């Protein structure tokens, strides 16, 4: 289950000053703490939301990937969202966008309670099981939802060389990979899939 966590970091200057007075001999430690305090306090009033983190096998190598979705902002009204896929300590894919209160209802200002509920649902729906599909399942879904997008997949993979995109797409369809689709806002839907040949994720669709 995707859970929503709000973390607000606060630092006590008085407590830190007391530590310095009581431990003058720890010069290197104090210098390090001073640096960390300077770096972190600049974001001390930010709100960090972990919308969710799931583990799924996407690349077909039997090693599960970790997918995370987080948001950072001064308030929950306006968040800088980061979606990231990592495996074995490596970042395989990342995408960033902004998520505002108006995103959920541009016609009116929703209440704080509604906003928190929408944010919770946003994280839960982002990683819904239906967003993970086999290549064949993705094609079947796309044929019913946006049939004309199916022949455009190779040019989405390789805009400058559709023939190469065709080869990569055939390889993807034959591999035991998982296609993941997500929305970064509004009606825009992005679907991505892993290419073992190029060792990267490619977009298969970016459409409303």
pLDDT 10s digits, 136-185: 999 999 999 889 999 999 999 999 999 999 999 999 999 999 999 999 87
pLDDT at 3 over 60: no
pLDDT at 141: 95
What's the number of domains the chain is made of? 3
**Cβ–Cβ < 8 Å for 156, 202:** yes
pTM score of the predicted model: 0.75
Give buried/exposed letters for 170-184 (b at 16+ CB in 10 A, else e): eebbebebbbbbbeb
Domain boundary among 104, 127, 150: 127
The alpha carbon dihedral of 126, 127, 130, 133 has a sign of positive
Instruction: State whether residue 205 is helix, strand or coil.
Output: strand
Domain match, 140 and 198 both:
yes
Please identify, among 127, 151, 173, the residue that sits at the C-terminal boundary of a domain. 127
Neighbours of 108 (CB within 10 A): 9
Range of the domain at 62: 1-9+46-127
117 and 139 part of one domain: no
141 and 105 within one domain? no
Give the pLDDT confidence score for residue 40 in this predicted structure: 42
Give the chain's end-to-end CA distance (angstroms, integer).
Answer: 27
Query: Which helix (H) or strand (E) element contains residue 59?
Result: none
Find out whether 134 and 179 touch, Cβ atoms under 8 Å: yes
Structure-token pair, residue 41: 């306090």
pLDDT over threshold 70, residue 41: no
| Rounded average pLDDT over 4-9 | 37
Nearest of 178, 203, 34, 50 to residue 122 by alpha carbon: 50
One domain for residues 121 and 134? no
Do residues 36 and 84 share a domain? no
Res. 49: pLDDT tops 80: yes
Which of 70, 92, 127 terminates a domain? The answer is: 127
Q: Are 122 and 156 within one domain?
A: no
193 and 93 within one domain: no
Tens-digit pLDDT profile for residues 51-107: 999 999 999 999 999 999 999 999 889 999 999 999 999 999 999 999 988 887 878
């Amino acid at each position: 289950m995707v859970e929503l966590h709000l973390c607000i970091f606060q630092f006590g200057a008085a407590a830190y000053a007391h530590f310095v007075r009581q431990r003058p001999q720890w010069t290197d430690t104090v210098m390090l703490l001073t640096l960390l305090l300077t770096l972190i306090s600049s974001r001390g009033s930010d709100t960090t939301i972990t919308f969710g983190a799931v583990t799924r096998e996407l690349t077909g190598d039997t090693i599960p990937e970790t997918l995370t979705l987080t948001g950072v902002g001064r308030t929950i009204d306006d968040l800088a969202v980061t979606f990231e896929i990592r495996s074995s300590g490596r970042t395989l894919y990342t995408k960033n966008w902004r998520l505002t209160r108006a995103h959920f209802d541009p016609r009116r200002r929703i209440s704080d309670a509604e906003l928190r509920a929408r944010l919770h649902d946003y994280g839960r729906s982002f990683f819904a099981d239906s967003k993970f599909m086999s290549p064949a399942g993705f094609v079947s879904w796309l044929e019913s939802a946006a049939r004309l997008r199916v022949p455009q997949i190779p040019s989405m993979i390789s805009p400058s060389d559709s023939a190469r995109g065709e080869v990569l797409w055939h390889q993807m369809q034959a591999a035991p990979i998982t296609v993941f689709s997500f929305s970064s806002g509004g009606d825009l839907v992005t679907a991505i899939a892993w290419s073992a040949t190029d060792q990267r994720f490619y977009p298969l669709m970016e459409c409303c």
